[in-house]
Amino acid sequence: MPFKMSAFVFWSGVYNAGLALFLCFPGLYRAIGVNLCSPVWGWLIAGFLAYTSVVLIYASRDLASRAALVYWESLLRYVAALVLIPAGLFGDIGLAAALLGLGDLAIGLVYAFGLAKEFGRSHRALLLGQDGGF
């Protein structure tokens, strides 16, 4: 069965939606060892995740013309990894955050390199929305 980027993007959007819902309930994320100082931070992150979930699911429906949206999401994943991995390993947020950060890093790499390979576009073209754009 060949790997389909559109399916990967769709299911990562569904993953974001599930994670957003999960972060709305402090008892749930505390049960897996994520320690946020206030539920407001979980709700704020959930809002961003809900938005990116919609964008990813929308982009997956016509990935060739919306690839730039997903490419930019890869950059957000790298930022999340840069924040979550050290916070999970060395901060008091919990080891689960580091694992989520590693997942973000992996997903971001699949987005960036998978889109470039599937559509034969350079990273620069994907970043600037060329050959398909927004």
Per-residue pLDDT of the chain in tens (134 residues, 90 and over written 9): 567 999 999 999 999 999 999 999 999 999 999 999 999 999 999 999 999 999 999 999 999 999 999 999 999 999 999 999 999 999 999 999 999 999 999 999 999 999 999 999 999 999 998 875 45
Does any domain span residue 133? no
Do the domain assignments include residue 134?
no
pTM: 0.91
Rounded CA-CA distance 83/80 in Å is 5
Identify whether 15 is part of a domain: yes
Q: How many CB atoms lie within 10 A of CB 111?
A: 26
* Phi, psi values for residue 84, rounded to 5°: -75, -40
In sign, the C-alpha dihedral spanning 93, 94, 99, 103 is negative
- Residue 13: which domain range? 5-128
Q: Tell which residue, 4, 22, 5, has the closest CA to residue 73.
A: 5
Please count the CA atoms within 13 angstroms of the CA of 116 that sit on its side-chain side. 13
Each residue's pLDDT tens digit, 117-126: 999 999 999 9
The answer to whether residue 79 is domain-embedded is: yes
Measure CA 51 to chain center. 11
Contact criterion met (CB below 8 Å) for 39 and 26: yes
Q: Provide the domain count of the chain.
A: 1
Whether 13 maps to a domain, the answer reads yes
pLDDT, one tens digit per residue, over 87-107 is: 999 999 999 999 999 999 999
The answer to whether residue 63 is domain-embedded is yes
Q: Which residue is listed with tokens 């539920």?
A: 39
